[in-house]
Structure 1
Amino acid sequence: MKKKNSIDHTLNHLFRQESGKMVSVLIKIFGTENIEMAEDVVQDALVKALETWKYRGMPDNPRAWLYRTAKNKAIDIIRRNKHSRVIDFSDPQKQLLTSGYTLTTTMNNYWQEEHIKDDFLGMMYACCHPDISQENQITFILKSLCGFSTKEVAKSFLTSEDTISKRLYRTKEFFRKHKIKPKIPASEQISLRTHTVLSAIYLMFNEGYNSTHNDQLIRKDLISQAMSLCKSLLSVKRTQLPEVYALMALMCFHTARINSRLTEKGELILITKQDRSKWDKEFINSGQKYLNKAAFGEGLTTYHLEAAIAYEHCNAKEYKDTDWNKILEYYKLLLKIGNDPIVFLNQCLVILELKGPKEALIALKNVENNTMLKKYYVYHATLGEIQQRLGNNTKAIEHYQKAVQLTQSKPEKQFLKDKIAHILN
């Protein structure tokens, strides 16, 4: 039983870490019109591993075994289809796959480590094509590059497997119709296209850090995958951009705090009451290193400033030691980059800590007519906190109740209900 559990654990880990890379290489070989073919080869390799390792034991290098099995299956497919139109062999390098003399050497070249990295990143950029909706981008990345099952993706978005299957189908049809070639963009496009990729990664991370579509507030699997994707960008010189380092720093600082955010019962703990001894110093140190590496180039991005804010929270030994003045300055700079109402709301929370509820309420009046914020539970939770501190308990309860209606997270609903109960008692 222990042997079987060990094999299952190893395969699950490999599937998460390596399936996306294998799929990317195979798509490079078969073309984006044959994405299902690439995914089937990887799935077959994993099934063969499960069957073989169960009887013969795990190989010394499980990753190399999987890659070799996938490569051999790809060779079989090429041989069967070299005279058909299933695979487009018009590319000069692919033409070498049709000859028995050059097939093996050419196939081996596709599976070299530096090519695997490039193909994986190329597929990330392809998934984040500007004409693909962000919802479909994340869905496709989770399924094809992160090894999530359709069921797991559906659970992440709180939707049906049928809906996820339709999103995947539409994305694959887009690739097929437009014959998208996965590749790292040229230098003049790299910054703009990387911004889109980082947006998708950060969206995935935020869904893991503060899940809106799941009973669990924290999804460590999504956090891990988002950080892994960002590290992939940092593994290749062309994509080692300041904003990539800055986002990595930001995610490290946030991840450092996840073990202190919930009680054993899964109840939410605000930063004011978190046990800071549980904060992961290794992640904080890593965040500092990434933030230092982000300090090149001429641009100051939102990731730089958000990482700086997160660092200030991590750097304070106690909540009372937080440098709110410095954080307020960072929020002012963020608002200069873009007039984001969510950023403004967060700035109001800083004003609440720094100057008190009256000043915070005055600041919030600047966005009281924003229809988007009125649908955001944090807006009403913030108003509830302000009114409570002002002693206006009836108004506070009204806002807390509105926030309960707007959030889908069970831990957040319970937290807000506890706030109401505290006022009533």
Structure 2
Amino acid sequence: MSAEPGELVAHLFRHSAGRITATLARFLGPERLDLAEEAVADAVEQALRTWPHAGVPDNPRGWLFRAARNRAVDLLRRENTLRGKLPMLAELDVTTDRQGTDDELALMLLCCHPELSMSSQVALTLRTVGGLGIGEIAAALLAKPAAVARRLTRARGWLAASGQAFELPSPTELESRVDSVLAVLYLLFTEGYDASSGEAAVRGELCGEAIRLGRLLLTDRRTDTPRARALVALMLLQASRLPARTDSSGDLLLLDEQDRTRWDRAMIGEGTRLFAAACTGPELSAYHVEAAIALCHAAAEQPEDTDWARIVALYDQLIELHPSPVARLNRAIAVSMVDGPAAGIAELEKLTGHPRLAGYVLLPAALGALWLRADEPRKAAECYRRALELPCSEPQRRFIERRLEFTSG
């Protein structure tokens, strides 16, 4: 059996599941989001069974849409309360689904309703719009699959009971709802860019899905905000480095170790243009500043070309806008590149007692790197050993173990 049909189904599910689910949910109502999801999942299973033997249809996405619609009709026939919607649902076709982008945007905003917890917003967006399975969501959120399943059940239950309309929020609510979506997308991208658990150092599919959903916001003038443009620009600039972020064994490479010829120049170009478009008005958000930092790195053809003084100034601006211990950690590393490792160590040591960094593996790892640069291998080794006691992904663990070996060399 050729693997090609299965790969195509996986691709279509990742890129079309949200749109098809959204189109069905528009007719069924948010209270039956579960039925729309089930219909799409069943259509995918049907494709996996039939395409390897019968061949891939001429219009695979249209086939999936019709299969999902037909399955939704079958499921509705069993429910007396929704049978009245059968004629309208049966008339749905691929032409109707052409407005799926609008439906998908409305669904994403619905999944990020502020009455839901952030973890529920993330889980519901990934499952319903992103097409991720429960196991994938659990890995992304560092949660057990059963806990994710319960979270999704509660979120769907709230949507069903709340009577939320399947439409874009009112202008008075839209700005805060878009901000919720941006926070969810950035969390999704960050987990893909720097996986905090598991065997993979990066999960490119999560980064790609965050960028896809970010671009979806930019398709509608009501959600195409400067902050949204800045975040998508930031994600593009960061994702441009993914091809060079790991070696052939899948182990992490530091920024100055990466082969910059492998950076995706098309993504850098798109991110640069989008960042310029985000800066046309007076608004300045944390996403703008982080994108500017990413652009400083993207502009440096060689590590020594990096404008570290400019990056320190940008981190100062970021901390003023959005105080964060992680931003302070990153600033300390930039300070060490301008004023030497001792200056960076002094900044990092101010963070050692911060409660939000108590289990953050990158703090002792960064201290170890700076002590090594300061020619203090014993202190560096202490920091690396402390880092190995904290939760981290397997590639992060191997990276720290390699650095620990340098301290005895």
Residue in 2 aligned with 1:45?
43
CA RMSD of aligned residues (A): 2.3
Distance 1:197 1:402 in 2: 36
Relative to structure 1, the CA distance from residue 348 to residue 77 in structure 2 (aligned partners, 3 Å threshold; closer, same or farther) is same
TM-score, length basis structure 2: 0.92
SS at match of 1:299: coil
Shift of 1:307: 0.8
Tell whether the 8 Å contact from 2:23 to 2:97 is kept in structure 1 after alignment. Answer: no
Tell whether the 8 Å contact from 1:123 to 1:182 is kept in structure 2 after alignment. Answer: yes
Residue in 1 aligned with 2:69?
71
Query: What is the identity percentage for the equivalent residue pairs of Structure 1 and Structure 2?
Result: 31
1:344 aligns with 2:328: yes
Relative to structure 1, the CA distance from residue 77 to residue 362 in structure 2 (aligned partners, 3 Å threshold; closer, same or farther) is closer
Residue in 2 aligned with 1:423?
407
Residue in 2 aligned with 1:12?
10
Residue in 2 aligned with 1:94?
none
Relative to structure 1, the CA distance from residue 6 to residue 373 in structure 2 (aligned partners, 3 Å threshold; closer, same or farther) is closer
Residue in 2 aligned with 1:376?
360
Question: Which of 106, 111, 126 is the matching residue for 2:96?
Answer: 111
Question: Which of 17, 30, 33 is the matching residue for 2:31?
Answer: 33
Deviates most, 43-52 or 221-230? 43-52
Relative to structure 1, the CA distance from residue 370 to residue 52 in structure 2 (aligned partners, 3 Å threshold; closer, same or farther) is closer
Tell whether the 8 Å contact from 1:205 to 1:226 is kept in structure 2 after alignment. Answer: yes
Question: Which of 168, 177, 187 is the matching residue for 1:193?
Answer: 177
Relative to structure 1, the CA distance from residue 363 to residue 161 in structure 2 (aligned partners, 3 Å threshold; closer, same or farther) is closer
Tell whether the 8 Å contact from 2:293 to 2:311 is kept in structure 1 after alignment. Answer: yes
Structure index of larger Rg = 1
SS at match of 2:57: coil
Tell whether the 8 Å contact from 2:335 to 2:344 is kept in structure 1 after alignment. Answer: yes
Tell whether the 8 Å contact from 1:158 to 1:213 is kept in structure 2 after alignment. Answer: yes
Letter in 1 for 2:329: L
Letter in 2 for 1:251: M
Shift of 1:169: 1.3
Distance 1:110 1:165 in 2: 33
Residue in 1 aligned with 2:298?
314
Question: Which of 373, 386, 390 is the matching residue for 2:370?
Answer: 386
Letter in 1 for 2:57: P
Relative to structure 1, the CA distance from residue 243 to residue 290 in structure 2 (aligned partners, 3 Å threshold; closer, same or farther) is same
Tell whether the 8 Å contact from 2:108 to 2:181 is kept in structure 1 after alignment. Answer: yes
How big is each residue's C-alpha offset from its partner over 1:112-132, in whole Å with a ceiling of 9 and x where there is no partner?
423x12221111111111222
Q: How does 1:15-414 map to 2 (within 5 A)?
A: 15-75=13-73, 84-86=80-82, 97=85, 107=92, 111-114=96-99, 116-414=100-398
Residue in 2 aligned with 1:93?
none
Shift of 1:366: 4.1
Letter in 2 for 1:236: D
Relative to structure 1, the CA distance from residue 155 to residue 78 in structure 2 (aligned partners, 3 Å threshold; closer, same or farther) is closer
Tell whether the 8 Å contact from 2:197 to 2:394 is kept in structure 1 after alignment. Answer: no
Tell whether the 8 Å contact from 1:156 to 1:214 is kept in structure 2 after alignment. Answer: no
Deviates most, 58-67 or 385-394? 385-394
Relative to structure 1, the CA distance from residue 158 to residue 364 in structure 2 (aligned partners, 3 Å threshold; closer, same or farther) is closer
Tell whether the 8 Å contact from 1:256 to 1:280 is kept in structure 2 after alignment. Answer: yes
Deviates most, 395-404 or 384-393? 384-393
Distance 1:76 1:360 in 2: 63
Tell whether the 8 Å contact from 2:19 to 2:104 is kept in structure 1 after alignment. Answer: yes
> Number of residues paired by the alignment?
409
Tell whether the 8 Å contact from 1:125 to 1:182 is kept in structure 2 after alignment. Answer: no
Distance 1:362 1:22 in 2: 53
SS at match of 2:301: coil
Distance 2:8 2:252 in 1: 33
Distance 2:271 2:254 in 1: 21
Distance 2:223 2:247 in 1: 39
Relative to structure 1, the CA distance from residue 7 to residue 362 in structure 2 (aligned partners, 3 Å threshold; closer, same or farther) is closer
SS at match of 1:406: coil
Shift of 1:250: 0.9
Tell whether the 8 Å contact from 1:35 to 1:172 is kept in structure 2 after alignment. Answer: yes
How big is each residue's C-alpha offset from its partner over 1:275-330, in whole Å with a ceiling of 9 and x where there is no partner?
11111111111111111221223211111111111111111011001011211111
Shift of 1:54: 4.5
Shift of 1:203: 0.5
Letter in 1 for 2:39: V
Letter in 1 for 2:198: N
Relative to structure 1, the CA distance from residue 356 to residue 243 in structure 2 (aligned partners, 3 Å threshold; closer, same or farther) is same
Tell whether the 8 Å contact from 1:157 to 1:213 is kept in structure 2 after alignment. Answer: no
